[in-house]
Structure 1
Amino acid sequence: MGILRGIRVAAVTLCGVGGLSGAMYGLLTGQGKRARTLIGRSTTDPHRADGLYPGGVGSVLKFAVLGDSLAAGLGAENADLLPGVLLARGLVEETGRSVHLTTYARVGATTRTFISQVDQAVADPPDLALVIIGGNDVTGKMRVRTSAALLGIEVARLRAAGAAVVVATCPDLGTIRPIPQPLRSIVRQWGRMLAKAQRAAVLRAGGIPVPAADLISAEFHMRYSELFSPDRFHPNGAGYRHASDVLLAPLCRALTAST
């Protein structure tokens, strides 16, 4: 399912088809098509830069990044601006330890397909894991309760394998300006509901949730032209740097709490 077609279907589902007038249904359908045309489709995979980032003392810190295209860094201009790379280097600076980065994240991942990433990660458990997932659950109209429950199960698996886990909850899809109103407000509402449910599930599973919509999205609203990539849907390198600056502190706290 195309991402913007999914957004339109999700919006119609959220409103309840029975409660929509023919005019409103037609409006949402038309807006989904228009947004899909404006954004287009990504045709390239993100850069990859997994490996060792040297530090000074202590054992090597194994750091894993799991999730969707935001975790993978789609839209970054080069490998140095991938969120995993920015955070790995930040962890080296903060801890003094060498960091080995492994990226399991995949473009288009949902919380259902995320299970396979966790399968790979627990086979060689990281010390610290960052998860960014949920946007495709909204565009794919997965039930909020189902999505959050699946996430909780996988966070618990990572924790049982010995990893400290930080989860950036569903971002604010209302920052995507090619999605016109009222469709944008509807999708924002869905994402907010999912983020709230994700937070509760992550806490129950022993992870640390970070409210991405609250802590990260405001800057994207204000600096839209500076922080988004040409597809107008994913961040660019500057956008990933902003997000990484917010996420580094929770990752350090999670690491300290687990030792």
Structure 2
Amino acid sequence: MSQAPYLAADASATEDLVTGGELRPFLRRRAATVSRTAAARSPRGARSPALPAGVALVGLTAALGGVTGGQAVAARRRYRGFASTVGDIEVTVMPSHGSARGAAPIEMAAFGDSAMAGVGVRDVTEALPVQLAQRTADAAGRPVHVIGYARSGARTLDVSIKQVPMVRRVPDVSVLTVGTNDVTHLTSLPALVRSSRDLLDALLALGAPVVMSSLPEFRAMRAVPRPLRDVARARGGLVRLVQRAAAARPGVHLVDVCRMVGWEFVDGPGMMSDDSFHPSAAGYGRIADAMAPAVLSVLTTSDSSGGFR
């Protein structure tokens, strides 16, 4: 399995991200700031008018398009092949304490992008699906067998058409991280609405509840320079809204990981891997801490309504 790391779209796609209508409110706010700054810096007593917001918007759009396009190309070249990965994931973990002899394992299926594929760590036990499985096993007192279908670079549509059909065991719970590549690769919002709905339909059709992580904290991705990082964060806000709407259905639990632990990735040392884009083992551990209660909750609900498979 190839787990080549991704970083951002190419220069032309990034320029589309900057100039696209979906981000015009973001650009207008920046343009207003530019206009006010220009007025404040005028020589005292000068009667020069503030820079018109429309002119500032055009100038800012052109400047950001050039700057972020160049940043995206440079970032891709710099970090190509930089991130580590663990390869295929299929592990059975046992509870850390007590005996689980004779207990049937909980089946967990992991889908999504590089965060769920283990990019950024070197040992499979450090990967997000395995850390999440360990926390589930410890809380449930049962073994957890986890299979990872996630692939680095996957967008929402990729998970639906390339990963879900690969499932070879009926899961008790599906776990999902997706959306970052839809941000960086500029998936259109109408297409994302459709693919998000179709993906969750496909996962629920497997017969198990879905625990889905929110998008990550883009401010922690120091491999992506500013202002490109700000633009990605702004578009990420739109993708979050799409995911929230798609997940508002029975059987899907959306965990706002960014709200719960995102600040730790911005301020805390050691939470990001050497590539400054993907989480480290400690970072994946905190994501697992945030998602594990939801996983246990949906499994407990399944147990009370008919038992684990």
Judged with a 3 Å threshold, the aligned counterparts in structure 2 of structure 1 residues 186 and 165 are, in CA distance, closer, same or farther, namely: same
Superposition RMSD on alpha carbons, in Å? 2.4
- Counterpart of 1:250 (choices 275, 284, 294) is 294
1:194 aligns with 2:239: yes
1:132 aligns with 2:177: yes
Give 1:127 shift: 0.6
- Counterpart of 2:204 (choices 153, 159, 177) is 159
- Secondary structure of the 1:204 match is coil
1:41 aligns with 2:44: no
Q: C-alpha distance in 2, partners of 1:132/1:5?
A: 17
In the alignment, is the contact (CA less than 8 A) between 1:9 and 1:141 conserved in 2? no
Q: C-alpha distance in 1, partners of 2:254/2:299?
A: 14
Q: Which amino acid aligns with 1:157?
A: A
Q: C-alpha distance in 1, partners of 2:215/2:10?
A: 14
1:6 aligns with 2:9: yes
In the alignment, is the contact (CA less than 8 A) between 1:11 and 1:186 conserved in 2? no
Q: Which amino acid aligns with 2:9?
A: G
In the alignment, is the contact (CA less than 8 A) between 2:156 and 2:196 conserved in 1? yes
Q: C-alpha distance in 2, partners of 1:219/1:239?
A: 9
In the alignment, is the contact (CA less than 8 A) between 2:116 and 2:150 conserved in 1? yes
Q: Which amino acid aligns with 1:131?
A: L
Q: C-alpha distance in 2, partners of 1:146/1:166?
A: 22
Unaligned stretches of 5+ residues in structure 2 = 22-56, 304-309
- Counterpart of 1:119 (choices 157, 165, 168) is 165
Judged with a 3 Å threshold, the aligned counterparts in structure 2 of structure 1 residues 5 and 108 are, in CA distance, closer, same or farther, namely: closer
Instruction: Give TM-score scaled by structure 1 length.
Output: 0.88
1:15 aligns with 2:18: yes
In the alignment, is the contact (CA less than 8 A) between 2:128 and 2:285 conserved in 1? yes
Question: Aligned ranges for residues 1-259 of structure 1 at < 5 Å?
Answer: 3-6=6-9, 9-16=12-19, 20-21=58-59, 22-42=62-82, 45-55=85-95, 56=100, 58-115=103-160, 116-121=162-167, 123-204=168-249, 206-223=251-268, 225-259=269-303
In the alignment, is the contact (CA less than 8 A) between 1:172 and 1:191 conserved in 2? no
Q: C-alpha distance in 1, partners of 2:70/2:292?
A: 40
Unaligned stretches of 5+ residues in structure 1 = none
Judged with a 3 Å threshold, the aligned counterparts in structure 2 of structure 1 residues 4 and 49 are, in CA distance, closer, same or farther, namely: closer
Instruction: Give TM-score scaled by structure 2 length.
Output: 0.75
Q: Which amino acid aligns with 1:69?
A: S
Q: Between the two proteins, what is the percent identity of the paired residues?
A: 29
Q: Which has the higher contact order (CA 8 A, sep 6+)?
A: 1
Q: Which amino acid aligns with 1:249?
A: P
